[in-house]
Amino acid sequence: MKNYFALNYTGEPFELYGTAHFIALVIITLFCLSFLYLRNIFNEEQKKRFRRFLFAFLVLDEISWHTWAIYWGVWDVNTMLPLHMCSVMVWVSAFMLLTKNYTAYELVYFLGIGGATQALLTPDASGYGFPHFRAFQTFIGHGLLVAIPIYMTIVEGFRPTLQSFKRVFIWTNLYMIPIFFLNLVIGSNYLFIAYKPEFTTLLDLLAPWPWYVLQLEVIGFAILFILYFPFLIKDLRLKKQAVTI
C-alpha cells in the first residue's frame, strides 16, 4: 500500500494512451453522460446534495495533492501555487457549486472544460502510473473540472451566452499578464507561457517559444468558440423561428 503513495514509485510508469489511460477517459465520459438521466429524476434537494458531493470530492482531491507534496518535501512555489488555469478552476468550481454563481459558471464552463480536457488527453502524472495515488488524483481532479460544468448545464439548466464567450476570452488574456511577470520574477512556468512543459503535451506540436504563445491565443479562441457553438446554433434557430412566427 505504501508504494501507491510513495514518492519513488516502483510500479509501472504512466503510459500515454495505454489501456489504463483509455479506461479512465471512458469512465469520465460515462459519468458525464449519466447527467442526461439524472436531470430527469433529481429534485431540487437532490441537486443541492449532489453539488455538495461534487464540492467535497473536488476540494478533497486538490488538498490531498498538496498534502502529499508537502509530506514528501516536493511542494514548491515555482510549481504548486494555485495559478495554473486548472488549479484556479478548482476553486472557482468549488465556489460555484456552493453558490450557483453565474459568473463563476461562465469561467468554469469555458476554462474548466477547455483546459481540463487537454490535461486529460496529455496528463502530467509525473510518471506515476495506475494504481499510484498521483494517477488517480490527476484524473479525478481534471475529470471533475470537465464534469462539473457539464452537470450544471445539463441538470441545473445553466448555459453560456455570447457575452460569456467574450468576457472569458478577455479576462483570460488579462490574467496572463501578471502571471507572465510573476514567471519572470520567480522562474516559474505558470500557464506554460514561459516555456513548453517538460512532459508531453499538445504544445509539442506548436512552434518554439515565444511564437507558440501567439498560437495558443488562436487555439484558445477556437476552443472557446467550439464550446459556445452548440448554444449559438440553438439561439439562431430560436431567432429564426421567432421571425417566422
Rounded-to-integer distance, Cα 202 and Cα 17, Å = 13
Q: Which residue has the cell 496572463?
A: 176
At 13 the pLDDT is 86
Nearest to 113 by CA among 229, 193, 200, 215: 229
Omega cis (within 30) before 210: yes
Q: Which pLDDT belongs to residue 197?
A: 83
Average pLDDT over residues 235-245: 74
Cα of first residue to Cα of last residue in the chain, in angstroms, is 66
pLDDT at residue 196, rounded to an integer? 86
Contacts (Cβ under 8 Å, ≥6 apart) of 184:
194
How far apart are the C-alpha atoms of 59 and 7, rounded to whole Å? 22
92 band by pLDDT with thresholds 50, 70 and 90: very high
Name the DSSP class of 210. T
Residue type, 135: A
**What pLDDT sits at residue 170?**
95
- What confidence tens digit (pLDDT) does each residue in 219-228 have? 999 999 999 9
Is the bond preceding residue 131 a cis peptide, omega within 30 degrees? Answer: yes
Cell readout for 53 is 458531493
With a pLDDT cut of 70, the percent of the chain lying above it is 97
Q: What is the DSSP string of 156-185?
A: S-----HHHHHHHHHHHHHHHHHHHHHHHH
**Across 33-51, average pLDDT:** 96
Task: DSSP letter for 85, please.
Answer: H
Average pLDDT over every residue of 1-18: 86
User: Does the predicted model carry a pTM greater than 0.85?
Assistant: yes
Per DSSP, 125 falls in state -
Q: b/e map of 70-102 (b: 16 or more CB within 10 Å)?
A: eeeeeeeeeebeebbbbbbbbebbbbbbeeeee
The 10 Å Cβ neighbour count of residue 137 is 18
pLDDT over 80 (residue 34): yes
Cα separation, 57 vs 90, in Å, equals 11
Residue ranges with strand state E in 10-110: none
Average pLDDT of the chain is: 92
pLDDT of 244 over the 80 cut: no
- Express each pLDDT in 119-152 by its tens digit: 999 887 667 899 999 999 999 999 999 999 999 9
Cβ pair 203, 212 in contact under 8 A: yes
